[in-house]
Structure 1
């Protein structure tokens, strides 16, 4: 039997064990005395032992049914056993157990046995009640457990909106394993009889305990505190769940305790109906979708449309003789729900007061923010809204240089003085990592020495990057606030919206870090630690400050914004995005300007379908986000293992691991890879908790230079044209495969099949190649894997766009608009006139954003001096697209006359500002 160490996830282990049990019991029932009979019996025994530890955490098939199957095996009732296992396995695979009772006796009828939930019509699936499971935590006897389950079952009513089954576990540790293993659990009932420690000894399950955190502190707990502590720990692991605490303690003892996710406390009573109603009400609060529901109701109303939008109610389509195919393709509901009115129970996105406002409030709860705002034209607009709301002309903003272009344009619109930060380069793969914390601290300390710290407004970073590099968000904010206690943080989490719903990932999101810091900065322990460090750092120079993990003052302001592309990583129509706010000064300082910026960039005719999809997407992640993110990570991990263990694939491909994409200095845990064939799986919790940077496991970067194809060619001519596999990120010698909450194990299997087929074709091609053809292949591989141009750092802004030589910030807005006048610009050829201009001693200054694709980051911005390294990089990258560059004309640059004129105007402005300051 395959080792448990081969599995990253206990969910995958469970699924495969049931499949193996079905095959083995079926084979044994057909030939009990056959050649493989003895081996099959031994295998079935091992499978039962393995599953017995796992099934205790799931309601279906349940302990009683599972033990019955074991007895069938022990009593040699092989045909009955094979039948029961087959029915259980099918129900688990199709999800049938979620919508109806599954009879397990051979004599029972199951007319729906072969119906697969996945192939049911959407209409049919909406008619069934959603199913979930309730975890009861109490160390009770089998008789008491049956009594408990029976009482809950008796509470069911036909009018209940949901259906649930119960799972009973005895201990606090079992409860933590259960909520992190069983994604069906939506509520927890904590009773007074629970014990502390689990009796389960299975590494793949106990690994889940690491993700709950704080287990060391449990040793000092007294039994009466087990229940409250469990509620607190589940709040850290799965904050979306509901808990109900049944206690024998007095009101006075419970009052004032932090009870985490506990929605209600029941005092020493067994009122099952009241508990049942509270459980349903708690799930209903997450299930409701105010705007989507309002839109559905609106679509049912008879209306007369004397307004804009002929397509409203589908009238312009149904009356048409020429566009009926559009109506047939989309169906009627999308047009019935289309309107430009804000009446009929709907709402205005610009001035929400009804269902949109309520939907945004629920999204705020789900994502852990203080305020959340919907956007219907993408995160590019969200970024500009936040920047315009917070940054005033002349404010200094520290910006990740290779961030999304919307941030650069946002700086232009806001008139910011931009201080670009360089990420660490990965020259071997033609991509950047992320900005080291030391670099950020260095820039802040330089600005402080120059007397400009009061003008520093914001730090803007991408988390996680397109390639999957994730910051230690809390540490970055802590150390920056130690230098600048009112610094505003904007985390571009366009590709990280799913992270809130995985316990490992959540700790590195902007909203979670903000909430943790707000709580910690209020504590006496933090105040004492800060005072102690200040004494130790008295008179410290910059080098010491750079080498010390700085502690922020207790009075630091937590001001955090996160923009998320919901449509990229969660369920939403394209361009559906959110802005999450966790800013202590939002109400007093930002709210009015934020509203104006929101009005500036948001359409007065937003798409209601996008808003509704954001509302429904929020419902989904609160009820099954944990499950979907768990499966997403599992799919990516399976892909890593499949490639790393396939001898043919390793000849031509390599999955880049943390050790390849994050330098050793930034990996304090020492973790180099999440999987290798010799050591098996690494529990990633340790590195996600400690390291400065970590690698998002859901992004699989595959080095393809060994095939002789560059990343762009491999993407377009091989994956897309030949096999229909879509990806959207490449570098010189890599392609990026991004899993998402819709990725299945079948999708991963297909990709592996394709890669194997490509590798086989390459093997055959090389076997049949002539000596010269082989040399040509080897040369292409060498050029892609070894002879790569070094990635250029940001050079500098030209002096005409700077205030002084002390610090590097520049006026990108002036440079951007100076280029509007063609008389200020010229074109220089990369291999001709630009070289002559640089050799003459003049600064060559870009008048445009220049973005080679791939890799897709700006190597030049308006006002930036062109360096030799940048030119060498542009020449060496034989890419088909360089955005902002005209191959027929050359590089657009400022004329020397324009730069001199700009320098004079800049000097005059600075002089005037100094005079004003003196007055």
Structure 2
């Protein structure tokens, strides 16, 4: 056995000072597994007398000693295995009782892996902690039978206090003694002895659901973790101030920090400070304060009650209860209670496939404990309020037909005919369709292109401000109603919503924002991703605008800004603008495809609202729009899944999202480090997907062979755009296969399903349903493909090699430039006098209903390109042309077709182009139809002018 046998284990990562927040949990697990494997080897080898085997024993003992040093500071934050168990197995190791060492650690790791420790209630035994379970030989049969295996959910309570070990044991004992068999849950206690320890525990121990902050404790931790610096940066701590704070001030500050780090935690304060010093805003983070706590009964009941509030799923519970009623159905849904299935001779296989429970819960009733989605007043209302709490909104609405419909609901509620909406030209097709429905005029914003990868990035803030200033100069700022952006983009580009909304509100204080967050419902439950979500940003803006500190900062900024040349647009574009808190209104909406990234049935989505003018101006219109697009017969299974999915993320979302980030980082590392895989595949990093001017932090990648893991905090706090770590975009151009071909290879040969591809990339989305086994399978598949290609390169003839090299050049170098939005034809502008870029897409859309106004021109035979280059007329699209991928409309009704757009369409390798009919071609307006529309516009202009005279 040699050290090289363990090259899968990176010993450099054992320095706690180098561990990042996104790989600490994985490293802890890996270290325990490493100890288990080597305990078995030591048990087998230590009695051997050969020189080589004794050398192996020496190397293994050195490695295990290093692992123990790594685990020691971490296990203080966990109930299991925890310090007592760690010290017990460490003692067996140091005393060279390798048989005990192996037996104990194998049992311990098995309990960690299968979660058995979560099912063991030690209150009825004489065991003081889980470490006593390792002494199997000392446990009598009687004691074994007295350790009850629980079905109740288990969690952990963090107590922050500078307690001795004896005092900690006494607190645990007193709280355990309060357990009752009819409690809905049971919990164990972990102790943090400093402010920084509390932050570390809350971050890395996902089982913690409650935190009790008690009395006096120091600020600094005795542990030296790099991620403490990241946490202080992320939470914007004034470290010196916190270190010198008085005990009560520090306790209150810790409450705010923990709430910012993990908003779902239930926090309690135990204090002896005067009540007047903590009531109101200072203690708002805490659910309740206890004074001079000696009797733990009230605290125990409060802890259980608060966790139960998150555990409750009102609609799901009502649906389960309803399904157990022997209801006689004299209404709709014959399938209810499987009535049409169990008596059928021909469709019983459907019942066998889905199971009876699904059909027992099928009903069209809105009574009997159930509720109406269109007018909720019971269980659905309560479920939506719970979701609002979980996602940090003021209101939340369930949607059962996807985020496409959610976007249409919001846009129809907010926009009126003639309003101007700013939206990205590479947006989801539901955005322009919603403009058509509402009668709003879209102004398309150009995202920065990534032509070398055949994809777009995101819309720069300068582009947004430039369009707004252009509209202001034309006197149309009052017409501008909404800014609609996709965050996170499909490819993982993340905006800074706070900065975008601040600067936009400085130009237009009443702007309404819709953030299409279809692909990032999970972001709320990550400490770092959360800070770039719409709802968190809206709440942060409200707090800023309400603070006296911001008012002073704004007054100073305003004086300096007005002293500059404010009549020059360039000054506005180059300056970081601040909105006037007296004028700015925070009106923010977000739509989530809950089913895409969290646990919910397909088409289960949510609308989240943080609009301070909702009740005054929007509620009635929103309700009408919601009625317009929501079925009177919504799928109750979808609604129940949204209810349960909310419960899951409130109680374990921090863990699940954290693990998905770990897995994505691990995938990056494995691909980058493998010399054969990296020969053909490259993970696109921030430096490839985000232009340097949008990355002032200088962060180029999350992992590299030379630098290892990089810190994320500075980039996520300051860069205009960042890259979502759960999106792994793989460049495949060096394989000679385009993205669509590679996608089919993965599916047909390896049963790996992906969706998004570009000409030379494929996207892997690492979601909460992923496991390490899934990642390992993908790495093995990439390795196998790389080996096959490598073998072929060695055996191919010169002709075959030349063809392969041409394919690689085509995919890596000969890429068509990405076209921006061209323009709306003058006939489809709101007015012939229009000087700004908004278009009347609705009029063009409905004109295309008239077949006599349209003709078809083919793309693939060059006819469309020839017609465009002829230059004798503008070719105007009569349809949405949406290639998949990339999945956004390249042409919309009323848009002028340009040479660049046609060349881009001709260069696409995809088979699926929505709106294009291969047999006939693309639909465009006839010249006569365009002329008629132009004449109508001229006549309308003349009429308006004569009327004004």
Question: 1:265 and 1:49 mapped to 2: Cα distance?
Answer: 38
What does the per-residue CA deviation read over 1:40-59, in whole Å, with 9 as the maximum and x for residues that have no partner? 22222222111111100001
Q: Tell me what 2:325 maps to.
A: 301
Question: 1:915 and 1:25 mapped to 2: Cα distance?
Answer: 94
- The within-5 A match list for 1:67-86 is 67-86=87-106
Deviates more, 1:572-581 or 1:901-910: 901-910
1:85 shift after superposition: 1.0
Q: Tell me what 2:627 maps to.
A: 599
- The within-5 A match list for 1:658-737 is 658-716=686-744, 718-737=745-764
Q: Of 161, 169, 172, which residue of structure 1 is paired with 2:195?
A: 172
Q: Tell me what 1:844 maps to.
A: 875
1:153 shift after superposition: 1.2
Q: Of 479, 498, 516, which residue of structure 2 is paired with 1:492?
A: 516
- 2:853 paired with 1:824: yes
Q: Tell me what 2:110 maps to.
A: 90
1:806 shift after superposition: 1.8
- The within-5 A match list for 1:590-669 is 590-669=618-697
Q: Tell me what 2:916 maps to.
A: 885
What does the per-residue CA deviation read over 1:49-73, in whole Å, with 9 as the maximum and x for residues that have no partner? 1111110000112222222222222
Q: Tell me what 2:145 maps to.
A: none
1:914 shift after superposition: 6.0
1:891 shift after superposition: 2.0
1:223 shift after superposition: 2.5
Q: Tell me what 1:415 maps to.
A: 439
User: Does the 8 Å CA contact 2:19/2:225 hold for their aligned counterparts?
Assistant: no
Residue 156 to residue 879, structure 1, CA distance change in 2 (3 Å)? same
Q: Tell me what 1:549 maps to.
A: 576
Question: 1:695 and 1:633 mapped to 2: Cα distance?
Answer: 12
Q: Tell me what 1:807 maps to.
A: 836
Q: Tell me what 1:445 maps to.
A: 469
Q: Of 13, 36, 52, which residue of structure 1 is paired with 2:72?
A: 52
Task: Give secondary structure in 1 for the equivalent of 2:88.
Answer: helix
How many residues of Structure 1 are paired with residues of Structure 2 in the alignment?
907
Question: 1:110 and 1:308 mapped to 2: Cα distance?
Answer: 61
Q: Tell me what 1:834 maps to.
A: 864
Task: Give secondary structure in 2 for the equivalent of 1:107.
Answer: helix
User: Does the 8 Å CA contact 2:759/2:909 hold for their aligned counterparts?
Assistant: no
- 2:41 paired with 1:27: yes
User: Does the 8 Å CA contact 1:437/1:476 hold for their aligned counterparts?
Assistant: yes
User: Does the 8 Å CA contact 1:851/1:860 hold for their aligned counterparts?
Assistant: yes
1:662 shift after superposition: 0.4
- The within-5 A match list for 1:391-470 is 391-470=415-494
1:833 shift after superposition: 4.4
User: Does the 8 Å CA contact 1:234/1:260 hold for their aligned counterparts?
Assistant: no
Question: 2:458 and 2:425 mapped to 1: Cα distance?
Answer: 10
Alpha-carbon RMSD across the aligned residues, in angstroms, is 1.9
Q: Tell me what 2:816 maps to.
A: 789
- The within-5 A match list for 1:261-410 is 261-410=285-434
Task: Give secondary structure in 2 for the equivalent of 1:258.
Answer: helix
What does the per-residue CA deviation read over 1:487-518, in whole Å, with 9 as the maximum and x for residues that have no partner? 00000000010000001000000000000001
User: Does the 8 Å CA contact 1:474/1:513 hold for their aligned counterparts?
Assistant: yes
Task: Give secondary structure in 1 for the equivalent of 2:212.
Answer: strand
User: Does the 8 Å CA contact 2:422/2:484 hold for their aligned counterparts?
Assistant: yes
What does the per-residue CA deviation read over 1:207-244, in whole Å, with 9 as the maximum and x for residues that have no partner? 45544442534244223311111101111110100111
What does the per-residue CA deviation read over 1:599-655, in whole Å, with 9 as the maximum and x for residues that have no partner? 000011000000000000000010000000000100100000000000001111100
Q: Tell me what 2:550 maps to.
A: 526
Residue 43 to residue 841, structure 1, CA distance change in 2 (3 Å)? same
- 2:752 paired with 1:740: no
1:32 shift after superposition: 2.1
What does the per-residue CA deviation read over 1:75-132, in whole Å, with 9 as the maximum and x for residues that have no partner? 3332222211111111111111111156211315699xxxxxxxxxxxx99x711111
- 2:123 paired with 1:105: no
1:877 shift after superposition: 1.8
User: Does the 8 Å CA contact 1:55/1:63 hold for their aligned counterparts?
Assistant: yes
Normalised by the length of structure 1, the TM-score is 0.96
Deviates more, 1:200-209 or 1:641-650: 200-209
1:908 shift after superposition: 3.4
1:29 shift after superposition: 2.2
Question: 2:193 and 2:235 mapped to 1: Cα distance?
Answer: 17
What does the per-residue CA deviation read over 1:1-20, in whole Å, with 9 as the maximum and x for residues that have no partner? 62215875111111011111
Question: 1:590 and 1:179 mapped to 2: Cα distance?
Answer: 39
What does the per-residue CA deviation read over 1:534-571, in whole Å, with 9 as the maximum and x for residues that have no partner? 22222411001100010011120000000000000000
Q: Specify every segment of 5 or more residues in structure 2 that has no aligned partner in the other structure, as ranges.
A: 1-9, 49-53, 122-129, 142-147
User: Does the 8 Å CA contact 1:212/1:234 hold for their aligned counterparts?
Assistant: no
Q: Tell me what 2:28 maps to.
A: 14
Deviates more, 1:213-222 or 1:881-890: 213-222
Task: Give secondary structure in 1 for the equivalent of 2:180.
Answer: coil
Q: Tell me what 1:225 maps to.
A: 249
Q: Specify every segment of 5 or more residues in structure 1 that has no aligned partner in the other structure, as ranges.
A: 112-123
Question: 1:350 and 1:914 mapped to 2: Cα distance?
Answer: 46
1:723 shift after superposition: 0.2
1:766 shift after superposition: 1.1
What does the per-residue CA deviation read over 1:706-745, in whole Å, with 9 as the maximum and x for residues that have no partner? 10100000001x1000000000110000000001001111
User: Does the 8 Å CA contact 1:181/1:208 hold for their aligned counterparts?
Assistant: no
Question: 2:612 and 2:628 mapped to 1: Cα distance?
Answer: 24
Question: 2:862 and 2:726 mapped to 1: Cα distance?
Answer: 44
Task: Give secondary structure in 1 for the equivalent of 2:423.
Answer: strand
User: Does the 8 Å CA contact 1:294/1:346 hold for their aligned counterparts?
Assistant: yes
